[in-house]
A and B are shown apart, each in its own frame.
Chain A
Amino acid sequence: MSEERKQEVLDRLKDGVINYDEEAVKEAAEEALEAGIDAYEAIMDGLTAGMVVVGDLYEKKDYFVPELLMCADALYVGLGVLNPHIKQESRGNTKGQVVIGTVQGDVHDVGKNLIKIMFEVAGFTVHDLGRDVPLEKFVEEQMKTDAEIVAISAMMTTTMMGMQKAVEMIRERNPNVGIMLGGAPLTQEVASLFGADGYAESAGNAVQEALKMLKNLREMRKK
């Protein structure tokens, strides 16, 4: 297969995600496999590259949360086709484990679900606790799975205070785990105050944070 042809398929994957065109992504993903493009490469240089652009569009206020969700759906369709064909060695050393959930008292999981997809794309094993998660459940799951990261989301000011208690509880049991907080009411200052290692301001910025991580992963992979 020529480089031009390969690039054309990767571009279609990318554009399909950007234009939230699930059908186009599905077709391009199947074509990528038929053409012998490495599934992981198709995910990283096609689907993920598209989500990087989506993140930029969100930051520039060309896209908003509904568009992000639709782009993520298109990405998910592509992952559904490509994921089963990933060779284990393709993921390299990027794999890790994440425990993720929405804090107790909060039933909004849009941001959590978006960042979950991003972690999955990056090759992490994601332990999704869902929404309205009792604080001790985060601790239990981290201990059970020995996950490197715990990601906790809250969408409302009235629920974010639970995060502080969750961070304290997790730290008490395992001081070395990385804790990422996200959600609309948070600020960097509050996340730091709560003792978090990572912060994402909103659903969109949570994606941005994950995309930055993915960007780094892709760059590391190219080196």
Chain B
Amino acid sequence: MNWYRKLSIKQKQVVWAWTFLALPVLFYVVIRFYPTFGSVLLSFQDWNLLGSKTWIGLENYEKLVADPVFWKVFNNTFIYLLLGTPVSLLISFIIAYHLDKVSFLHATIRAMYFIPFMTSAVAMAWLWRWFYQPVPVGLFNNFLASIGISQLPFLKSTFSALPSVLAPAIWAGLGFQIIIFMAGLRAIPQSYYEAAQIDGVGPWTVLREITIPLLKPTLVFLVVFSSIGFLRIFDQVFNMTTNDPGGPLNSTKPLVLMIYDTAFNAFDMGYAAAQTVVLFTILLLVSLLQLYVMRERT
């Protein structure tokens, strides 16, 4: 330990920092980076999981670009993102904003909003799947039929299937977003509101000029977090459409489901890896873009 004693305080701090960082670094290298590089490598190969791998260069990517299903799926993935993120953030903000002002049974209400987030996505997806069924089993359609309105196709139409799958996904994520929003709201110093009150500013201005700007860090976190979540949507789609995975006619298929299908039904691991690399790139770009757009501008 002689060398350690010779170090300056600054150097000692560095040594300690790296000692503590060693575990996460090791974790990231072994659990994250190694498989990531492995799949990038695999995306240039042909492999059915059983035989040997053969190098085929860019063939998997060429196939991907020429595959109409991929472009359909690519589109779907962005529809999930562009519908899911704003709608879920808007709803959760409205709920959080009002819940923040409620003191009666506050904790109970908050817990109730949080329960769906803790529920297993699989159980929830199956429940909603049955809700959406036509008469005689579907809850929604039975209700519509009982009041004399014709049935809605929900999961059975290429138009309404995607929103029908998205709805429970949004609902399930609300609890988490509400909690984060409320933490953000609580973190805004009360003195700003008091100052606004003294100045006699209306509630809209308070919301626009104080609450939303000061919620920015929270908002950035939630936008990035939920965007990644919607880009990676899988459980809900997979479980709600097992009879026709990602259907009807690929109208609900997200990229992750296509990857799953290519890897574990067609056992075309190289092609699946190429799709994974594309998904990874999209996730990276979207995250960087959002961080850039929502960066501090003061």
Answer whether A and B are interacting partners: no
Q: Which residues of A contact B (CB under 8 A)?
A: none
Q: Which residues of B contact A (CB under 8 A)?
A: none
